[in-house]
Amino acid sequence: MDDNKRTRAHARRQALRARVEHDRLVSPQEAAARLDVCERTIWRWIGSGRLPALRTCPGRGGKFRIRPSDLDALLASGCV
């Protein structure tokens, strides 16, 4: 692999790492701390659909995770 290809590959890896770090999912506990609300409030918002959440695994064993961009959208809407 020549230096130019290595440089491009390195740049792609760096961009991917930055995107993954920015899009890192947070737990309901972390979301509550970021928004300075009770964790129970986060669970209510998830249950009502006001705050979108993802399940890490379908079924009963899955944990809920929240995108930071969804937290930002909730803050921007003025609901918090």
CATH code of residue 38: 1.10.1660
Nearest to 15 by CA among 5, 3, 26, 7: 7
Q: Which residues form the domain of 64?
A: 3-76
Beta-ladder partners of 26? 66
What is the DSSP-derived secondary structure letter of residue 78?
T
Structural domains of the chain, count: 1
Nearest to 68 by CA among 47, 58, 48, 54: 54
The position carrying tokens 């947070």 is 26
Q: Which of 14-23, 42-51, 71-80 has the highest mean pLDDT?
A: 42-51
Considering the entire predicted model, what is its pTM?
0.67
Residue range 5-39, pLDDT digits in tens: 778 877 777 666 655 555 689 999 999 999 999 99
pLDDT above 70 (res 47): yes
User: Which residues fall within 8 angstroms of residue 56, CB to CB, at 6 or more apart?
Assistant: 62, 63, 64, 65
